[in-house]
Structure 1
């Protein structure tokens, strides 16, 4: 039996990113992967081979941290030694480039990965015992599962779902669909990616699910439908045979060489209709594997088994010392931020390692000393909001924290975790970047605040910095820096408004401290 303190399951982007930070701290770890190389999921997915993760090479800046705001594929490094753009410069790159990049990343940093190790069982007594298909056994004090989604989310609630061809198994040669009638189940990006791929060949494509279609540009959630995949919406509304349907499917029945599919429409006064198709494709997504959890490792799950139940520190809610990295941590910000995607979970991996170092290695959360003054806090915040990638890529979820009395600035920490972690501190500020809320149905027609209304930042609709004051874990005030078209928060008026806010907070803190130190004065104040 081979023993390591930390064992990571999966050598995809999350496993490698976690390994990189563990190695940087000199900790004992091993990564196990079933494949012969890194990034096996990207060898097959997405099946149509175009990634929709933005790879914006030209930003007008040579600031590495700023550029990560527009680089959705690179993993985080301290030396900036390898970037995804070294392998592909297309705005929407090829999936093969991700495979090359991940293997290049592993090689450059000489990460400790053992391939051809398909994990078949993880059980726990006092430590984790990890068994592989080849018969190897590993022991770990802390297990980190970075295996992602590996099981198809088939529409098993539909009578006759066995006639459905899953996304993983579909024929992707467009000519094989010439003049065919095609039903695509699902309304996520994989469904529309598939429909776009076949739109010029199929006679008719219907995309169906009971859920209302949501657009990423409207919700600001990148898991909703992206514009790069929505050409078929034009064809639908401009009357070119293809269509989108809000409906429940009750059953699918094979009739000769075709399939009769019965729909119960959501917005047609109870109408039920049966339509014939030549093929039915399922693009209903994936969920977490459920066949590797052994005795003592029966993981609680959420969203019908799609995700594990997690604490704010990425630890299983019911299995101590079992942590998750990568896509599965999206359960903590599901459909709100970006932890389901590389440009989001790379920061979760970094935070996870800091959490592990604090929990098991006796380390403190990394931070920088800052003079305890409103002016110095202002400068630190302004510097970060103008270039930090974590706050930008994980809006409302990741934060920076200013410990006011201690004069310490802490970066790249999940906000809710931070609020709880520092709840014993008398005063601290949590810095995030967030979108506002519009009552308008069309975000492109929303009335925006005048750029000179520096003290009305709370009315901003687009992504903008938010600073919240906490006293012993309870929020007491907040300040919004007004949105800016080019995300430039260096205007002297913006800076002055922030410094004024922080000064007021610090004065109140000083007065409170004085009263606490002088009980008689405090009592007199109360009597007055």
Structure 2
């Protein structure tokens, strides 16, 4: 039998990427595209990451429309395809659409896993599968990763390991409950009363799947569901049916704003003691099963001992705007762990960094930054003709998927350089607002507290930044004469300096 030689043997590399899920594959693609020496390691036997096992009930919450107003492979089509990774080569683009059976515009887990495998194959990405990251140390010159295959040395490391380790809230008795990852088949809850601790997407995924089977379902957590936020969120595909049953007064499904004080196990099942948060008083629930849909944490292993600080109940690494550890320079994160870099959170709006559609762009920007900072690989910064600036910016506001998917988080920047206007590309809005730089213009798509989407323009002059919201449009058409006049007036001072 022929021996298959694995890529990336132990040794020294510029960058090591740990993980072969969507973020690891996107980072690997970007590193190769920029010519940065790297290795990609994965404990799994094939690409897919968390989508090899999750979500439990196998239906995602982010859409891919096989048919859309724009052609597959176009940049604009990414607005309608939230699950494919992004690439420059046409053969690697829009991998998901052709794999979907079209029973729903939200792919199944198996379809998502197949889409990632196809991207890896078409892009020719090499991964050392079956190589488990075990420990990390800093030797003064860089990082040393101890793995099941040997030691890897690198100047920078990108951990694309997801937020996949089950996390349980410190509630007495909750250790007796099944965590979300241990939920049984839906039909095994036939006729049972189920209490779910949590009211986020995994809790509602379980509730939605158990509706045809369980005789009673209760979901409880201290915070109330904000239906105004939910209405603009992709999570509504999971939330709406259980929420609808509750709102209509269906006594089979209850959504309770309450803190869970303790859980007692008895001969008949469980007794759950709660106390109201949006109302005053205790409630006690007797049930057959308790499910802890309390979320996950990043599998950081020994990184905290290395000095990596965390946020969100120590579940996610704290990161800079470029997704680098705030406490250990040279350690970066990709994937849904990039929620540890929250951005400006204008109007309280969170980023889409917890989903593929958002963190695929984070990975592109991360690698661009890493390549320039650590390896002097500068990105292209093409000239923008002054008479084309307004049209260029308006077109980006109308169709750029990075700006629309990562609203108020990513922006497009045009700098005033010595030789004219330079397109600095897509970067975190926080960088433009918080850090000094040349006179420049940045644009972003943002959302007001009432859900209104509008374009925003930021102007930096002598390191003072001013924000200018433009008018919304019912069809989000920002290439109107009104928008052209407004933007022209704003950028005139910048153009006057060219």
Scaled by the length of structure 1, what TM-score is found?
0.86
Equivalent pair of 1:391/1:433 in contact (CA under 8 Å): yes
Equivalent in the alignment of 2:181: 168
2:42 is equivalent to residue 28 of structure 1: no
2:475 is equivalent to residue 489 of structure 1: no
Identify the match of residue 498 of structure 1 among 478, 487, 491.
487
Identify the match of residue 146 of structure 2 among 116, 125, 131.
131
Q: Distance in 1 between matches of 2:223 and 2:465?
A: 36
Instruction: Name which one, 1 or 2, has greater alpha-carbon Rg.
Output: 1
Deviation by residue 1:282-313 (Cα, 9 ceiling, x = unmatched): 11110112424376x23111111111011222
- In structure 2, relative to structure 1, the CA distance for the partners of 1:430 and 1:247 (3 Å cut) is same
2:25 is equivalent to residue 16 of structure 1: yes
Equivalent pair of 1:45/1:95 in contact (CA under 8 Å): yes
Superposition deviation, residue 137 in structure 1: 1.9
Identify the match of residue 467 of structure 1 among 453, 457, 460.
457
Superposition deviation, residue 131 in structure 1: 1.6
Q: Distance in 1 between matches of 2:90 and 2:204?
A: 35
Equivalent in the alignment of 1:399: 411
- In structure 2, relative to structure 1, the CA distance for the partners of 1:343 and 1:294 (3 Å cut) is closer
Q: Distance in 2 between matches of 1:214 and 1:331?
A: 22
In structure 1, runs of 5+ residues without a counterpart are 439-460, 511-528
Superposition deviation, residue 73 in structure 1: 0.5
In structure 2, runs of 5+ residues without a counterpart are 1-9, 344-348
Superposition deviation, residue 252 in structure 1: 0.9
Scaled by the length of structure 2, what TM-score is found?
0.91
Q: Where do 1:83-482 residues align within 5 Å?
A: 83=94, 84-88=96-100, 89=102, 90-126=104-140, 127-132=142-147, 134-155=148-169, 157-172=170-185, 174-215=186-227, 217-218=229-230, 220-222=232-234, 225-241=235-251, 242-269=253-280, 271-293=281-303, 297-333=306-342, 336-371=350-385, 373=386, 375-405=387-417, 406-420=420-434, 423-425=436-438, 427-438=439-450, 462-476=452-466, 478-482=467-471
Deviation by residue 1:159-204 (Cα, 9 ceiling, x = unmatched): 11121100011102x2221221110111011111111111121111
Q: Distance in 2 between matches of 1:199 and 1:360?
A: 52
Q: Distance in 2 between matches of 1:284 and 1:277?
A: 18
- Other structure's SS at 2:90 match: coil
Q: Distance in 1 between matches of 2:375 and 2:49?
A: 32
Between 1:327-336 and 1:47-56, the stretch displaced more is 327-336
Equivalent in the alignment of 1:45: 54
Deviation by residue 1:125-162 (Cα, 9 ceiling, x = unmatched): 22211122x3522122211101011211112x211112
Equivalent pair of 1:7/1:32 in contact (CA under 8 Å): yes
Instruction: Note the aligned Cα RMSD (angstroms).
Output: 2.0
Aligned residue pair count: 475
Superposition deviation, residue 467 in structure 1: 0.9
Q: Distance in 1 between matches of 2:173 and 2:325?
A: 36
Superposition deviation, residue 228 in structure 1: 4.0
- In structure 2, relative to structure 1, the CA distance for the partners of 1:419 and 1:479 (3 Å cut) is closer
Equivalent pair of 1:330/1:340 in contact (CA under 8 Å): yes
Equivalent in the alignment of 1:522: none
Between 1:96-105 and 1:231-240, the stretch displaced more is 231-240
Superposition deviation, residue 486 in structure 1: 2.2
Equivalent pair of 1:479/1:498 in contact (CA under 8 Å): no
Equivalent pair of 2:433/2:465 in contact (CA under 8 Å): no
Superposition deviation, residue 495 in structure 1: 1.3
Equivalent in the alignment of 1:56: 65
- In structure 2, relative to structure 1, the CA distance for the partners of 1:78 and 1:265 (3 Å cut) is same
Q: Distance in 1 between matches of 2:362 and 2:49?
A: 21
Q: Distance in 2 between matches of 1:51 and 1:367?
A: 37
Equivalent pair of 1:166/1:282 in contact (CA under 8 Å): yes
Q: Distance in 2 between matches of 1:226 and 1:4?
A: 43
Q: Distance in 1 between matches of 2:488 and 2:288?
A: 65
Q: Distance in 2 between matches of 1:160 and 1:294?
A: 28
Superposition deviation, residue 415 in structure 1: 1.3
- In structure 2, relative to structure 1, the CA distance for the partners of 1:138 and 1:356 (3 Å cut) is same
Superposition deviation, residue 393 in structure 1: 0.7
Equivalent pair of 1:122/1:294 in contact (CA under 8 Å): no
Q: Distance in 1 between matches of 2:490 and 2:11?
A: 56
